[in-house]
Chains A and B, each alone.
Chain A
Amino acid sequence: MQFVLHRAKKKLQAIILRISDWAIFVGLVLIGGLGSSYYMLSAGNSLTTLKVGPWSTWKHEGRVDADPYTRAHFARSGTLNLTTDIANTYQASRDSDGLRLHSSCEYEISGETLDARWWSITALDDQGRLIANPSSRYTFTSDTVAISPDGTFTVTLARDARPGNWLPTAGAGRLTLAMTLLESDAAIAGDTEAEAATIVLPVIKRVACR
């Protein structure tokens, strides 16, 4: 009787060992396959996205010949984007030092007048929702932003009112900035990293945090 039990125990151990090997195999395949796909859809890589400082854009958004990663990214985000043939939509969720944008901090977005027929900068939360504020300020465009006599501009992101081009961030938590450039030669040509180096976009500088 004891011998039979011993054999059964050994057999069970062998089965468990084999099943655990398969479980590890399947687990690794799932993590590797789905994880790499998720990463490529969320962040992209140099083939699908273009990074200019803290700003990034999807190179083939809205295009009929877009790659599967770009298609899946925008299907997931549920947004309605213009084709990169006429516009580029950049997003930034970090400042120029690589730190996460957050409503508890104050930022200065500064640059020279952008090389585009028309442009805009909008402050949103990290889900792409507008940030409710009493002054109903959400965006600045090339028509509404106050530009200095030397051709530069500065937009301030802060909770409390600031002079000049102020975008309120209230208590939104993590922030995302969206910038649209309409018919910008540099932005549309910028398909490679070398071309990206010629694109000049505003710098996002952290001023202070609470």
Chain B
Amino acid sequence: MTLHPLAERALALFKKLASIRPDLRLVAAALAAMGILHICATLAAPMLMGRSAFDRLSPILPLNSVVVLPPITPENQPLPFLTPDVRYAMCRYDTAQAPVGLSVQLPGKGWSVALHTPEGDNVYAATGEDERITSLRLRILPSDERFMGLTPESLGVADTSEKPQVVRSARGIIVLRAPDRGHAYVPFTEAGLRQFTCTPEKPR
């Protein structure tokens, strides 16, 4: 049986490769080195690769105050894959000086609020319910142990205020998302976004 010249050459190359007896210790060392490099590259990637969403948004978001972003368009798209299916209100928070208080209303389905850390983790997220207004009050505290002032009880005053939920996070971005429901709903959407507040709390 005669083979095609190309097949003959491939067969000869295969035989030649099969005749090589690799040093198994070298192969094992190469695989181990590949594994170590793979792990190091994967773990180092978040620090080495470009600018994160937090880095990109920080210049346009003043600290501890809410910015209602204009509708997302090709000319005004601060992040890749930031889609115009929702309108955004954002607050860059930092609890280094004082806890940050957050008050927000989610007036229907499709609305959501999420706290994103600089690494992109959502430390808190909530969504709106159908035909119901969900009011949320959050108190963002630093994640480390630190004295943040006396409680009203320790000052001899009964605290009758409603307690907000507590979330621990040093810094990040709070994003309120309001769904695009068409032109007729724009005033309703913008009013909902403007109700979002994010302010540092004064020490007692």
Cα distance, A109 to B75, chains bound together (Å): 26
Query: How many of B's residues come within 8 Å of A, CB to CB?
Result: 55
Contact check, A117 vs B41: say whether CB atoms are below 8 A apart: no
Contact check, B38 vs A141: say whether CB atoms are below 8 A apart: no
State which of B80, B119, B173 has its C-beta within 8 Å of the C-beta of A78.
B80
Beyond A29-B33, A78-B79, A128-B81, is A144–B180 a contact (Cβ under 8 Å)? yes
Contact check, B53 vs A25: say whether CB atoms are below 8 A apart: no
Majority SS of interface residues in chain A? Answer: mixed
Name the interface residues of A1-55: CB closer than 8 Å to any CB of B: 25, 28-30, 32-34, 36-38, 40-41
| B42 CB → nearest A CB, Å | 5
Beyond A72-B42, A78-B51, A83-B114, is A122–B120 a contact (Cβ under 8 Å)? no
A79 at the interface (CB under 8 A from B): yes
Stretch binding the partner chain, chosen from B9-17, B122-130, B150-158, B194-202: B122-130
Cα distance, A132 to B202, chains bound together (Å): 45
Cα distance, A180 to B179, chains bound together (Å): 11
Cα distance, A68 to B47, chains bound together (Å): 12
| B181 CB → nearest A CB, Å | 4
Residues of B within 8 A of A86 (CB): 112, 114, 125-127
Contact check, A124 vs B83: say whether CB atoms are below 8 A apart: yes
| A187 CB → nearest B CB, Å | 13
A162 at the interface (CB under 8 A from B): no
Contact check, B123 vs A76: say whether CB atoms are below 8 A apart: no
Residues of A within 8 A of B120 (CB): 62, 71, 74-75, 79-81
B166 at the interface (CB under 8 A from A): no
Residues of A within 8 A of B109 (CB): 117-118, 182
Residues of A within 8 A of B38 (CB): 32-34, 36-37, 40
Majority SS of interface residues in chain B? Answer: mixed
Contact check, B83 vs A117: say whether CB atoms are below 8 A apart: no
Contact check, A62 vs B122: say whether CB atoms are below 8 A apart: yes
A197 at the interface (CB under 8 A from B): no
* B93-132 interface code vs A (CB 8 A; 1 in, 0 out): 0000000000000000110101010011111011100100
A69 at the interface (CB under 8 A from B): yes
Beyond A33-B34, A130-B72, A141-B179, is A124–B81 a contact (Cβ under 8 Å)? yes
Residues of A within 8 A of B182 (CB): 143-144
Residues of B within 8 A of A63 (CB): 121-122
Beyond A68-B42, A144-B182, is A76–B122 a contact (Cβ under 8 Å)? no
Cα distance, A72 to B48, chains bound together (Å): 10
Contact check, A25 vs B30: say whether CB atoms are below 8 A apart: yes
B52 at the interface (CB under 8 A from A): yes
| B67 CB → nearest A CB, Å | 14
Residues of B within 8 A of A37 (CB): 37-38, 41-42, 45
A85 at the interface (CB under 8 A from B): yes
Chain B residue nearest to A74 in the complex (CB): B120
Residues of chain B having any CB pair with chain A under 8 Å: 26, 29-30, 33-38, 41-43, 45-46, 49-53, 56-57, 72-75, 77, 79-86, 109-110, 112, 114, 116, 119-123, 125-127, 130, 173, 175, 177, 179-182
3 closest Cβ contacts across the A-B interface? A33-B37, A128-B80, A120-B85
A-B contacts, 26 of them at CB < 8 A, read A25-B30, A32-B37, A34-B38, A37-B41, A37-B42, A40-B38, A66-B121, A68-B42, A68-B43, A72-B45, A74-B120, A77-B81, A80-B173, A82-B112, A82-B114, A86-B114, A86-B125, A117-B109, A120-B179, A122-B83, A127-B80, A130-B77, A140-B85, A141-B179, A143-B182, A180-B83
